[in-house]
Structure formats: structure tokens, C-alpha cells
Amino acid sequence: HQPLPLSPLTTSPSPSPPQTTSPCPSPPLTTSPSPSPPQTTSPSPSPPLTT
């Protein structure tokens, strides 16, 4: 049995470009303000069960 001539993958350039260089199309979520208001400021609609 003769060994199959496997071409070295290291020499063949990868067809897919490096994703590290390509900028992300989606904008950073940190800069975009959250459309939902803060729940901390909104009073709880449910009455207190303690009373």
C-alpha cells in the first residue's frame, strides 16, 4: 500500500479572509441606548403583599 500524496494544508492559502480584519457590520450595543426604560425607576404595578 503506497501512502496517498496528501497536499500540505499549511502551504495552501485559506480562501476565507481573516474575520479579525473585517469590521463588524453590527454597531456596538454599548453605544446604542436601550429603548426600554429602566425598571428601577418604574413603580411596581402589583400592590405590596405585606399590606
- Cα-only R_g, the chain: 28
How high is the pLDDT of residue 5?
A: 74
Region 30-39: mean pLDDT is: 56
Question: What confidence category does residue 49 fall into, taking pLDDT thresholds of 50, 70 and 90?
Answer: confident
Residue with cell 411596581: 44
CB crowding 9-47: b at 16 or more within 10 Å, else e: eeeeeeeeeeeeeeeeeeeeeeeeeeeeeeeeeeeeeee
